[in-house]
Amino acid sequence: MSVITFLCAGQMNSAITFPAFENGHEVRLVGSPLDREIIERLRRDNYHPTLKRTLHAGIRYYQKEELPEALEGADLILNGVSSFGIDWFVREMLPVLPEKVPILSVTKGMICEEDGALTPYPIYMQRMQPAGRQMRFFGIGGPCTSYELADHDDSHVAFCGEEMETLRWMRSLLGTSYYHISLSRDVRGVESAVALKNAYALGVSLAVGLAEKRDGQIGAVHYNSQAALFGQSVREMTELIRLCHGLPENLIFGAGDLYVTIFGGRTRKIGTLLGRGLTFEEAMRELDGVTLESIVIATRTARAVRQMAGAGLVRTEDFPLLMHVDEIINQGKPVSIPWDAFTFVREEI
């Protein structure tokens, strides 16, 4: 049996407690400063109010100030902070976490460097750790929704990091008959693929709102347009993964994650609202001002593409869907899918 400490009680981190606990490990779930009410409720009856599932009896719950106790004897740490909390995690958590315990992160996202390079969070955290420390960071990516993982629906993800021996060990701790885990040393490929899907899920969801607007019926669906936008997303993501210095084989995790994301959640909702004709500001008000990772990654990726284009490394014309999404959310332009920009003629074989 190993001791696994989960930092932050978000939905995905909490869902992974299911395979961890069922494999016989001691599971400790620590709330961030934003998770106080979640931890209080879990302590009462093991019910997670945002995941809307009852966690296993026997899991130990801790508030942020009880972190030292939760870390005592830990063999593995899972980081479940959202991308909006990544700087808090770097600033507040990395200095106090045990140096020898590997950190496996469910956080998806990248930062845009000054030269336009996109850096995945595990590599960013490795770089930002306190001077003199040698902490090890790993990531999880793939098409897996938290509530379906908690319900034991078959899911296939990738664990990525530089140390294959440690990746195999982590898979032995968390892999189950329903939680299937591939392993990859290509951190840039896996992490860029699953981060990019958030931006493109918004793009594909525009077709849902356009169908509803055209038919005058909420829930109207036209699969041709969604499929076309999905295909264009995969095309652009393939090139972006290459620009992030990742292997194209990792597209399976990004495309799968894209498929999952466009079927529900806040990213689908805002894409649908925009497709119906709402401005970005109106759509955000409709969502009560919630922060969306799709907005962050779309903005950062579009900015990176423009910077790389300025350096002569790419052409913005090769990313028409991404550029249009960025125009909608950052320049206030109405939805007008650039269909002609998606078509091509390839004479050579």
Which residues, given as ranges, of the chain have pLDDT below 50?
Answer: none
Looking at the structure, tell me whether residues 309 and 175 fall in a common domain.
no
User: Does the residue 242 lie in any domain?
Assistant: yes
Looking at the structure, tell me whether residues 211 and 76 fall in a common domain.
no
237 contacts 254 by C-beta, under 8 angstroms? yes
Among residues 185, 215, 249, the one where a domain terminates is 185
User: Does the residue 349 lie in any domain?
Assistant: no
- Give the three-state DSSP class for 323: helix
What amino acid occupies position 215? D
Bridge partners of residue 6, in order along the sequence: 29, 78
Bridge partners of residue 183, in order along the sequence: 159
Q: What is the CATH number of the domain that holds 308?
A: 1.10.1040.10
Looking at the structure, tell me whether residues 174 and 248 fall in a common domain.
no
| Number of other residues whose CB lies within 10 A of the CB of residue 4 | 24
205 contacts 271 by C-beta, under 8 angstroms? yes
What value, to the nearest 5°, has the Cα angle with vertex 231 and ends 281 and 197? 50
Looking at the structure, tell me whether residues 206 and 307 fall in a common domain.
yes
CA distance 271 to 93: 34
User: Does the residue 289 lie in any domain?
Assistant: yes
CA distance 205 to 22: 36
Looking at the structure, tell me whether residues 244 and 165 fall in a common domain.
no
Per-residue pLDDT reduced to its tens digit, 167-183: 999 999 999 999 999 99
Per-residue pLDDT reduced to its tens digit, 276-289: 999 999 999 988 86
Looking at the structure, tell me whether residues 25 and 127 fall in a common domain.
yes
Looking at the structure, tell me whether residues 207 and 337 fall in a common domain.
yes
Looking at the structure, tell me whether residues 43 and 167 fall in a common domain.
yes
What value, to the nearest 5°, has the Cα angle with vertex 178 and ends 172 and 183? 45
Structure tokens at 328: 């909608």
Looking at the structure, tell me whether residues 30 and 178 fall in a common domain.
yes
User: Does the residue 73 lie in any domain?
Assistant: yes
Number of structural domains found in the chain: 2
Among residues 185, 211, 237, the one where a domain terminates is 185
Which pLDDT value is given to residue 287?
86
Among residues 126, 151, 185, the one where a domain terminates is 185
Which pLDDT value is given to residue 220?
82
Looking at the structure, tell me whether residues 208 and 333 fall in a common domain.
yes
Looking at the structure, tell me whether residues 22 and 77 fall in a common domain.
yes
Which pLDDT value is given to residue 293?
86
Looking at the structure, tell me whether residues 26 and 67 fall in a common domain.
yes
Which pLDDT value is given to residue 291?
67
**Whole-model pTM?**
0.92
User: Does the residue 10 lie in any domain?
Assistant: yes
Bridge-based pairing state of the strands 110-112 and 118-120: antiparallel
CA distance 83 to 31: 16
User: Does the residue 215 lie in any domain?
Assistant: yes
Q: Which residue range is the domain that position 286 belongs to?
A: 195-342
Q: What is the CATH number of the domain that holds 38?
A: 3.40.50.720
CA distance 225 to 81: 34
Which pLDDT value is given to residue 298?
94
User: Does the residue 190 lie in any domain?
Assistant: no
